[in-house]
Amino acid sequence: MQDNKKCIADLHNLPKETFRKIMREVSKAKAVDYNARMGAVCPVCGAERCRVTRSIPWYGNSRERYHRCVECGHCFKSVEAA
Ligand SMILES: [Zn+2]
């Protein structure tokens, strides 16, 4: 846990733009694609159109949403690209 905290502190010492870039790549890697027609597909059970629990306004050319799967209860994030 402490190693993790130190790692995050080091990240904050990077130039802001570099830090943002990294965070954007990291969050993209963990997120599923949001499809305007299909919504977000649960990465665990494959259920479509998972309910949105939180959405974040457009940032740059992507928008993030948080979902909770009604089938299996898994929480995950999706990214919609413009
Ligand atoms: Zn699911």
Tell me: the pLDDT tens digits for 2-18?
Answer: 565 666 667 778 898 98
How far, in Å, from the CA of 58 to the mean position of ligand 1?
Answer: 25
What's residue 52's pLDDT? Answer: 96
> What does the pLDDT look like over 27-62, one tens digit per residue?
656 789 999 888 999 999 999 999 999 999 998 999
How far, in Å, from the CA of 55 to the mean position of ligand 1?
Answer: 19
For residues 60 and 71, give the distance between their C-alpha atoms in angstroms, rounded to a whole number: 32
Q: Grade residue 76 by pLDDT with cuts at 50, 70 and 90.
A: very high
pTM summary value: 0.64
> What number is the average pLDDT over the span 71-81?
93
What's residue 25's pLDDT? Answer: 72
Half-sphere exposure of 44 (CA within 13 A, CB side): 12
At residue 23, what is the residue type? M
How far, in Å, from the CA of 68 to the mean position of ligand 1?
Answer: 8
How far, in Å, from the CA of 34 to the mean position of ligand 1?
Answer: 15
How far, in Å, from the CA of 53 to the mean position of ligand 1?
Answer: 14
Strand partners, 33: 79
